[in-house]
Amino acid sequence: MATEFPLPPVLTYYPSSSSTPPSLITQGAEGRLYKSTHLASSRPCALKYRPPKPYRHPILDARLTKARIQAEAKVLDRCCREGVPVPAVYAMDAAAGWMMLEWIEGQPVRAGINVWLGARPETDEAIDAANDAHQTPLINLMERIGTVVGALHLTGIIHGDLTTSNMMLQPWKTTHTSQQQTNGEEAAAKEAAVQGDVVLIDFGLATTSSSDEDRAVDLYVLERAFASTHPRAEKLFEHVLEAYGKTFKKAPSVLVKLADVRMRGRKRSMLG
């Protein structure tokens, strides 16, 4: 895809004959995400660029952009060092508004879950978390989500915007086929859609905290996002929490706090 916007200068220079111009993947409110082979054709990378905002005072805008990029890169670095699955930071120029990250192959978890659920008849009842044996591959994914969020919280980082769009499913080298899903190509494709390693992305709103309350709010944000994005699978969210509860010593007390946070959330929505 041709780029429709000015690029940061670093990306208008192609260091090797095999590197191709970056292609725009998404354009959000704050920034743009390009896929690029700037470093090497065999090593695609994600270029996150926050262009100047004409509606902000230029000095304030430059300062804000720089601080946000630096903060996001710092959190990603820390996650990498501590073994939390996130894209590695390859390069950055915070003052120029960009950072270059490891490209994560695969699709967002949201899309994978939708492929899995999409194969069910429209008239289907909501999925019963405890008894639906046919959901094993999806349940396994939910558990992997809980484990990764637990690993993140253990490092003292709060994501701030956990959704199934801010998690990628990085395909496994070999596919694992469950006993339930051995009948046909369609079933195999459906199962493949929920396989892969969960990699967290978009740390633009991340903060550091080790308090039960902040961790519980992070989980609550994910719980609400999950319920509105995947309403039929809402009940399966308990598998995320169950796996989370096993990840570190204080995780069970975060889950107790989550009950409080939910209650407050409900009261607030009743009051309008």
**Which of 225-230's residues contact partners 24+ apart within 8 Å by CB, and which partners?**
225/162, 225/163, 225/164, 226/163, 226/164, 229/110, 229/113, 229/163, 229/164, 229/165, 230/110, 230/113, 230/114, 230/117, 230/164
* Contact flag: residue 9 with ligand ATP (CB under 6 A): no
Residues 242-271 that bind ligand ATP (CB under 6 A): none
Least distance (Å) between residue 159 CB and ligand ATP? 11
Please name which of 96, 94, 141 lies closest in space to residue 115, comparing C-alpha atoms.
141
Specify the residue, 46 or 138, whose C-beta has the smaller distance to ligand ATP: 46
Least distance (Å) between residue 170 CB and ligand ATP? 9
**How many residues contact ligand ATP, by CB under 6 A?**
18
For residue 196, report the phi and psi dihedrals to the nearest 5 degrees.
125, 165
User: Does residue 109 contact residue 225 with C-beta atoms inside 8 Å?
Assistant: no
Least distance (Å) between residue 108 CB and ligand ATP? 5
| Annotated catalytic residue within 93, 132, 161, 197 | 161
Least distance (Å) between residue 25 CB and ligand ATP? 5
Residue 161 annotated to the active site? yes
Least distance (Å) between residue 94 CB and ligand ATP? 14
* Contact flag: residue 25 with ligand ATP (CB under 6 A): yes
* Contact flag: residue 170 with ligand ATP (CB under 6 A): no
**Binding residue (CB under 6 A) for ligand ATP from 143, 202, 212, 218:** 202
How far apart are alpha carbons 91 and 19 in whole angstroms? 16
Specify the residue, 76 or 127, whose C-beta has the smaller distance to ligand ATP: 76
**Binding residue (CB under 6 A) for ligand ATP from 8, 21, 51, 108:** 108
> What is the number of other CB atoms lying within 10 angstroms of the CB of residue 270?
7
- DSSP annotation string for 215-251: HHHHHHHHHHHHHHH-GGGGGGHHHHHHHHHTTSTTH
Residues 109-148 that bind ligand ATP (CB under 6 A): none
* Contact flag: residue 33 with ligand ATP (CB under 6 A): yes
* Contact flag: residue 26 with ligand ATP (CB under 6 A): yes
**Binding residue (CB under 6 A) for ligand ATP from 12, 30, 246, 263:** 30
User: Does residue 129 contact residue 236 with C-beta atoms inside 8 Å?
Assistant: yes
Taking CA 144 as the corner, what is the angle to CA 120 and CA 231, rounded to the nearest 5 degrees?
35
How far apart are alpha carbons 226 and 231 in whole angstroms? 7
Q: Which residue is nearest to ligand ATP (CB)?
A: 204
* Contact flag: residue 49 with ligand ATP (CB under 6 A): no
Binding site for ligand ATP (CB under 6 A): 25-26, 28, 30-31, 33, 46, 87, 101-104, 108, 165-166, 201-202, 204
Positions marked catalytic: 161
